[in-house]
Amino acid sequence: MSTCCASSRDPAQTRSGELTIALAGNPNCGKTTIFNALTGLRQKVANYPGVTVEKKTGRLKLPDGNWATVIDLPGTYSLISRSPDEMVTMEVLRGLRPRTPAPDVVIVVVDASNLQRNLYLVSQLIELGRPLLVALNMMDVAERRGIHVSPQSLGEALGVTVVAMVGHKRQGIEDLKQAIASARTAPMPDWPLPAPMRREVEILGGRLASMDAEGRSATGGAATGLYGAPAHPSYEALAERLLIGDRAGDIAPLAGQVPIAEQVRSATARLAEAGIEPMQADIEAHYRWIEKLAERASANVEELAAMGTTAPREVLGYETARGRTLSDSIDAVFMHKIWGLVVFSAIMATIFVSIFSLAAPIMDAVQAAVTWIGIKLSAGMSDGPLKSLINDGIFNGVGAVVVFVPQIALLFFFLAVLEDSGYLARAAFLMDRLLAKVGLHGKAFIPLLSSFACAIPGIMATRTIENRRDRLATILIAPFMSCSARLPVYLLLIGTLFAGAGAMAQAGIMLACYALGILAAVVTAIVFKRTFLKGAPSAFILEMPSYKVPQASQVLRHVLSNTWEFLAKAGTIIFCLSVVLWALMYYPRLPESRIEQVALEARANMPAVLRDGVMNQSNSAAASEDIDASRQAWIDEAVRGEELRHSFAGRFGRTLEPVIRPLGFDWKMGVGLVGAFAAREVFVSTMGIVYSVGGNDEDTSSLTEAMRADVYPRGDPRAGQDVWTPLVGISMLVWFVLAMQCMSTLAVVRRETAGWKWPLFMLVYMNGLAYVICLGVYQIGLLATR
């Protein structure tokens, strides 16, 4: 075979003379464990620009004392398929990713217990023509299953160094480090292609070689010759890539040239006549080669015993005569038609309860602590914009970010355990039928379930879904799940407006809110998957890895890196929006004269209990101080209410009134809705300020009374009518179920979809839907009750 010639070294490759090592391998092959063992704590997690694929790099000290950069590539089955993970892997390996140097050495991790399929990726990596090293991992699992792979035979057959490893026990790590220096390009195997295809590869390879030579002589040998050709080990390898339809970024310019495209087309047509499809023939040839290789590399027990590396099968009790593995036995229960669902429900209930209630006290404590620090810090300051900015703006903003940390950390803990143990694939398997009905993937179940606690961790959990369309559909419907922040609003509205309806009816309304959210999610998922997220129904091709015990260190790393990423990326946006929202509710300030006037009015309108309080109490000094404080609080509430009405947010609420009036809402609710943008439960405290009754989401009795007593003032078309009728309550409940009014969710969607397009779309479609449905509910309700 002819040798490489058109290659030009990637300039990034020689940067500071340091080695770049890429770690590749199938999913579930133990690659991350080896990466962690190689790099220890010297790791960095970022994102590849433009895609939401994690870029994990680490530093490794080589035995010769030099440092090397290790890139942990996403786990992939192939270099040609089209998921974002596979694209990135292929591009890094071919040196096509900007700001990521092409690797000098590729270490491919191979699961010895699943040799054939793992060797398929190896066969593709050989074609890359880069120095290669095979880490034959999970030797212990393979031994237990009675699969004996000889690293020596495999290494001889491949022509590269093969290091036997048990990653989670750190066995073979030092050998692997030592072997890096000896990594070399594997000889190109003679793929057992069908004869006609082999002929076409040779013909096309020959054409490419002569075109290259012509191109060179035409430019005096200075230019690269074959325009647009990537670095390639041989012209035949290049021809093969062209024939099998590989259109990766490096080969696309070449494939697009008219004479070459013409050659490829006629070769494909000739092969089709012979009943050969190049892509299929290529994969089959690779597997035929692999089958031979695996046979050669599988040493017999006696041979291994002679080398002293065998583990007697009899000792490992759970290897039964029929070859039933421990995983098979676990699955007999975990995947059982009845018991499987019982186990599944128990696991999901544990996760849900943990996120929903276990996290709650921690979240409250975290928020209280942050607020307390703010108050302590500003204790010495006089009232004014700076103090308010610190307390209500900055520390509230920090609180709004860190409040999510317990939930996110818990969810990622469970996700890491489920994924590392191998159960995540089983959960997707059990739930797929249900979700497939609305066009989603089985893996959407956990993100959607988590969204009932909070959409933020839920949306972050969609990362486990590979297919972009499926993932996007899941993200777009996740906020319809009634999250825990809606609960205080539901409780306030139901408690205030349906108090007479009885406990059962109240519970029914609450249930209906949750059901409406699910219904909206189902309908929108179906609509989206049939319109702009349309495509061939996404294939469900999911490996069921054997069960493993998750490693504590790996789980911890996963939790820390994801939590940190949330704080760094989504957190900054949430924080900024919190400060903006504070400014909207703080400015412009009331003139001093108006404050005095409001205070005077409040003093005059003070309820008799407060005004004459002293008369009914004992005359002790403490009691009189108490009363004074209550009077002052009454006046302060009135001023705060007036300040909010005067602020940008208050004015916005008023401006909004004509728009939201058809839904049955007045301007006060408009202000509440603006406040709810910080977090839905803030609606309750904002309404408390608007009604000048104070209160928080725990104690709403005075707010309830104020809402029930509120009637439209003179001059309003609805003068004298109740502001909060049960119909308004239903309309408001529907709004809270359907509307997108959570800036933190939008910030996370921006983060997860790498742009503002989808969060903006979400904002428009969810609020549009909520508006239309509320309009229908309220107007039809009005007609029906007239």
Partner 1 sequence: MGYTIGMEKACDVAECNHTGPAASCSLNQLGIGCCGCVVSVGGDMDVRRRLLEMGFCNGAAVEVVRRAPMGDPIEFRLRGYHLSLRNEQARHVKITGATTR
Instruction: Please list, in sequence order, all residues whose beta carbon lies within 8 angstroms of the beta carbon of residue 606, skipping any fewer than 6 positions away.
Output: 631, 634
Question: Site for partner 1 (CB under 8 A): which residue of 7, 14, 116, 605?
Answer: 116
Q: 93 and 106 in contact (C-beta within 8 Å)?
A: yes
Q: How far is the CB of 327 from partner 1 (least distance, A)?
A: 8
Nearer to partner 1, 15 or 82 (CB): 82
Could you tell me the two tokens for 478?
Answer: 């996740």
- Between β-strands 162-164 and 131-137, what pairing exists: parallel, antiparallel or unpaired? parallel
Instruction: Please list, in sequence order, all residues whose beta carbon lies within 8 angstroms of the beta carbon of residue 648, skipping any fewer than 6 positions away.
Output: 583, 584, 585, 587, 588
Using CB under 8 A as the binding rule, whether residue 432 contacts partner 1 is answered as yes
Instruction: Please list, in sequence order, all residues whose beta carbon lies within 8 angstroms of the beta carbon of residue 17, skipping any fewer than 6 positions away.
Output: none
Using CB under 8 A as the binding rule, whether residue 311 contacts partner 1 is answered as no
Helix axes 682-690, 487-497, angle to 10 degrees: 50
Q: How far is the CB of 4 from partner 1 (least distance, A)?
A: 26
Q: How far is the CB of 86 from partner 1 (least distance, A)?
A: 10
Nearer to partner 1, 242 or 410 (CB): 242
Q: 136 - beta bridge partners?
A: 110, 164
Using CB under 8 A as the binding rule, whether residue 188 contacts partner 1 is answered as no
Question: Site for partner 1 (CB under 8 A): which residue of 80, 293, 370, 660?
Answer: 80
Q: How far is the CB of 289 from partner 1 (least distance, A)?
A: 10
107, 273, 419, 518 from 428: Cα distances, Å: 31, 42, 11, 19
Place of tokens 């010895």: 112
Stretch that binds partner 1, among 34-42, 108-116, 399-407, 714-722 (CB under 8 A): 108-116
Question: Site for partner 1 (CB under 8 A): which residue of 255, 304, 335, 606?
Answer: 335
Question: Site for partner 1 (CB under 8 A): which residue of 4, 5, 51, 147?
Answer: 147
Q: How far is the CB of 287 from partner 1 (least distance, A)?
A: 5
Question: Site for partner 1 (CB under 8 A): which residue of 261, 272, 279, 307?
Answer: 279
Q: CA angle at residue 404 from 398 to 405, to 5 degrees?
A: 90
Could you say which residues in the range 352-411 bind partner 1, by CB under 8 A?
none
Q: How far is the CB of 488 from partner 1 (least distance, A)?
A: 37
Nearer to partner 1, 200 or 282 (CB): 282
One-letter amino acid at 548 equals: K
Within 298-422, residue ranges assigned H as helices are 301-307, 326-334, 339-353, 359-377, 385-388, 396-402, 405-421
Q: 492 and 733 in contact (C-beta within 8 Å)?
A: no
Using CB under 8 A as the binding rule, whether residue 337 contacts partner 1 is answered as yes
Nearer to partner 1, 18 or 284 (CB): 284
Q: For residues 494 and 773, what is the distance between their CA atoms, to the nearest angstrom?
A: 19
Q: How far is the CB of 507 from partner 1 (least distance, A)?
A: 30
Nearer to partner 1, 116 or 701 (CB): 116
Using CB under 8 A as the binding rule, whether residue 280 contacts partner 1 is answered as yes
Could you say which residues in the range 516-555 bind partner 1, by CB under 8 A?
536-537, 539-546
DSSP secondary structure letter of residue 249: T
Q: How far is the CB of 336 from partner 1 (least distance, A)?
A: 8
Stretch that binds partner 1, among 115-123, 360-368, 458-466, 748-756 (CB under 8 A): 115-123
Using CB under 8 A as the binding rule, whether residue 136 contacts partner 1 is answered as no
- Between β-strands 54-61 and 105-111, what pairing exists: parallel, antiparallel or unpaired? unpaired
Q: CA angle at residue 391 from 387 to 393, to 5 degrees?
A: 100
Q: 457 and 411 in contact (C-beta within 8 Å)?
A: yes
Q: For residues 118 and 77, what is the distance between their CA atoms, to the nearest angstrom?
A: 8
Question: Site for partner 1 (CB under 8 A): which residue of 64, 190, 262, 291?
Answer: 291
CA neighbours within 13 Å on the CB side: how many for 350?
Answer: 10
Could you tell me the two tokens for 337?
Answer: 């038609």
Stretch that binds partner 1, among 300-308, 359-367, 422-430, 488-496 (CB under 8 A): 422-430
Question: Site for partner 1 (CB under 8 A): which residue of 167, 205, 397, 442?
Answer: 442
Nearer to partner 1, 299 or 723 (CB): 299
Nearer to partner 1, 80 or 355 (CB): 80
Q: How far is the CB of 505 from partner 1 (least distance, A)?
A: 34
Q: 229 - beta bridge partners?
A: none
Distance of CA 308 to the CA centre of its chain: 46
Q: 521 and 476 in contact (C-beta within 8 Å)?
A: no
Nearer to partner 1, 161 or 546 (CB): 546
Could you tell me the two tokens for 520?
Answer: 């909206």
Stretch that binds partner 1, among 9-17, 75-83, 96-104, 583-591 (CB under 8 A): 75-83
Using CB under 8 A as the binding rule, whether residue 425 contacts partner 1 is answered as yes
Using CB under 8 A as the binding rule, whether residue 313 contacts partner 1 is answered as no
Nearer to partner 1, 545 or 550 (CB): 545
Nearer to partner 1, 17 or 537 (CB): 537
Using CB under 8 A as the binding rule, whether residue 283 contacts partner 1 is answered as yes
Q: For residues 74 and 131, what is the distance between their CA atoms, to the nearest angstrom?
A: 19
Using CB under 8 A as the binding rule, whether residue 284 contacts partner 1 is answered as yes
Number of residues that bind partner 1 (CB under 8 A): 45
Q: For residues 200 and 195, what is the distance between their CA atoms, to the nearest angstrom?
A: 9
440, 619, 635, 638 from 603: Cα distances, Å: 60, 21, 7, 10
Q: 779 and 753 in contact (C-beta within 8 Å)?
A: no
Nearer to partner 1, 147 or 711 (CB): 147
Stretch that binds partner 1, among 159-167, 204-212, 334-342, 708-716 (CB under 8 A): 334-342
Question: Site for partner 1 (CB under 8 A): which residue of 113, 450, 686, 704?
Answer: 113
Nearest to 151 by CA among 168, 134, 167: 134
Region of residue 365 (left: phi > 0; alpha: psi -120 to 50; beta: else) = alpha
Nearer to partner 1, 542 or 769 (CB): 542
Burial of 584: CB neighbours in 10 Å, binned 0-12, 13-18, 19+:
middle
Using CB under 8 A as the binding rule, whether residue 78 contacts partner 1 is answered as yes
Binding residues (CB under 8 A) for partner 1: these are: 77-78, 80-82, 113-117, 120, 145, 147, 279-280, 283-284, 287-288, 291, 327, 331, 335, 337-338, 340-341, 425, 429-430, 432-434, 436, 442, 536-537, 539-546
